[in-house]
Amino acid sequence: MKYYTYLILLNLFFLFNKNHLFAIDNLITREKIELLNVAYSHNKRTFMCNCSFDKIKVNYDDCSYFPKVNNDKAHEVKWKQLINSKFIFRRYPEWKLGHNSCKTKKGDKYKRKKCVKKLYKNELKLINNDLHLYYPIIKQISIMMRNKRFGTINKERRKFGECNLEIGKLYIEPRDSIKGDIARTFLYFSENYMKNNFLKDKQMKLFKTWSSNDPVDQWECERNKNIKKLTGISNNILDHLCEKYSK
């Protein structure tokens, strides 16, 4: 009962708070998870392998996923930001070049992650709290996805039973039915946070192809609507496509 009361109060807070961006900017991890669970309340299924889950526990009875290693991480769900923070930091020029503001008390210059975090603190906080970028992924898969890009893998080898997911040394290739969802998440991020300077030409071409071949569906539009209603943050890419889809 206490859990549902908390959710009601949380939703009322966002409903009557006119400055939604300020509110979401101050979310803590527990609150982000609560909001995401509300957004997914009618579709509690993991993103990569389409397994149902309850809070954090995965149910394998209704999906084709088979754990690579049968440990605790294979049975839990993690809300993962689809875009790797490593690649985000490296797209800022100060990662390589540094900045006059990035100096220690002794006057020594520094760059990379420390410099980027100092200069773009507010923007990085908004990125971290943008729920449009988060998806429920089995924790074991989430760990294997670290520091890898989405792309095409030749000579596919499935490591997770019948779940159509390939994870190689450098790339991840998901099943066709979610390639568009992934592409539109990256396109949204690039346009709204990185001034279209995040994706290289080859990646942009790939994601536009994925988006074209796998157009928006009912759940993607419902998810977008739920997150927008809960946080006030609009995904302009999906707003436009979902408007066309509904006609």
Nearest of 160, 229, 237, 241 to residue 10 by alpha carbon:
229
pLDDT reported for residue 59: 87
H or E stretch including 171?
strand 171-173
pLDDT by position in tens, the chain (length 247): 444 444 454 554 444 444 444 444 555 588 899 999 999 999 999 999 999 998 888 988 888 777 766 777 778 999 999 998 888 998 899 999 999 999 999 999 999 999 999 999 988 999 998 999 999 999 999 999 988 999 999 876 767 777 889 998 899 999 999 999 999 999 999 999 887 678 889 999 999 999 999 999 999 999 999 999 999 998 999 999 999 877 6
pLDDT reported for residue 27: 54
CA–CA distance, 44 with 100 (Å, rounded to integer): 47
Asked if residues 174 and 43 have their Cβ atoms less than 8 Å apart, the reply is no
